[in-house]
Amino acid sequence: MARLDGRPEIFHSIQGEGKSIGVPSVFVRTSLCNLHCIWCDTDYTWNWVGTRFPHVHDALPGYRKFQKKEWIAECDIETIAEEVAGFPCKNVILTGGEPMLQQSALLRLMELLRSKSTDYRFEIETNGTLVPSVDFDASIDQYNVSPKLENSNNPRKLREKPAAYRFFSQSPKANFKFVLAAENDLREVLQLLDTYHIPADKIWLMPEATQRETLQEKRQWLVEICKKYGFRYSDRLHVQIWGSKKGV
Ligand code: SF4
């Protein structure tokens, strides 16, 4: 689990982006990621001291890579389930980092919560590089897949995994959310849709922005692109409401 303010990062909020935008949800944030996006806003789940991954915040005064042992909380599934069950909310979002690195633990968490109430519904936020196991897939209600583009600074062979992309493009539970930093990113999105046969109505486009000002600047051109291609537009409510604050 990701550790924030000395505790495992589990919190009750609203989904800030994508298909379920605005839906009250309990977020369970796992630590560790198999990618290293240069603009990642949850870099405290992977950008450890001693690694050489660049980040856009490197130049900011006071920005430091994170001490791994201070930012990971090892906890048992029963404790996490108890904490999640304490919130008056049955939509649970498994997020990260890359939560699909921990499928077996998350599967046990889902089973435990469903043994408490069959009303639980599980979404997972993934970078789309890992294929789920059959059992894990059966437990998930919704995949929010966010494939990473060249603007993430991850090499293509790491960020584009054909078997995983094919799985999600065919899954009725999956939607795709692309983060666009500039108009050039659109060419890459269109290529991926063509290669993996992803229909336009499964696509959400979202501006790359961790600050309100940047979000505002990028909204209008992205909306025009969505109108032209029949994609959905996603804002970033959490940036709009809380700025870059963590754990909200
Ligand atoms: S895949 Fe997600 S969690 Fe991982 S580095 Fe990229 S933005 Fe961050």
Task: Return the pLDDT at 6.
Answer: 82
Q: How far is the CA of 14 from the centre of ligand 1 (A)?
A: 20
Q: How far is the CA of 88 from the centre of ligand 1 (A)?
A: 28
Q: Which two tokens stand for residue 108?
A: 């046990």
Structural domains in the chain plus CATH codes: 3-177 (3.20.20)
Output the DSSP codes for 7-67: EE-EEEEE--SSTTTT-EEEEEEPP--S---TT-TTGGGT-BTT-----GGGGSTT--PBP
Q: Which two tokens stand for residue 201?
A: 């109505």
Residue with the nearest Cα to atom 8 of ligand 1?
40
**CB 129 less than 6 A from any atom of ligand 1:** no
Instruction: Yes or no: say if 152 and 37 are a contact pair by the CB < 8 Å rule.
Output: yes
Task: Return the pLDDT at 248.
Answer: 65
**CB 33 less than 6 A from any atom of ligand 1:** yes
pTM here is 0.94
Q: Tens digits of per-residue pLDDT, 178-223?
A: 989 887 899 999 999 999 999 999 999 999 877 788 888 888 889 9
**CB 30 less than 6 A from any atom of ligand 1:** no
Q: How far is the CA of 144 from the centre of ligand 1 (A)?
A: 13
Give, to the nearest 10 degrees, the angle between helix 162-170 and helix 185-196.
70
Sort strands 142-145 and 174-180 into parallel, antiparallel or unpaired. Answer: parallel
60 φ/ψ sector (left φ>0, alpha ψ -120 to 50, else beta): beta
Task: Return the pLDDT at 92.
Answer: 98
Task: Return the pLDDT at 214.
Answer: 81
Task: Return the pLDDT at 229.
Answer: 96
The pLDDT tens digits along the chain (248 residues) read 898 888 899 999 999 999 999 999 999 999 999 999 999 989 999 999 999 999 999 999 999 999 999 999 998 999 999 999 999 999 999 999 999 999 999 999 999 999 999 999 999 999 999 999 999 999 999 999 999 999 999 999 999 999 999 999 999 999 999 989 887 899 999 999 999 999 999 999 999 877 788 888 888 889 999 999 999 999 988 877 777 666 66
**CB 209 less than 6 A from any atom of ligand 1:** no
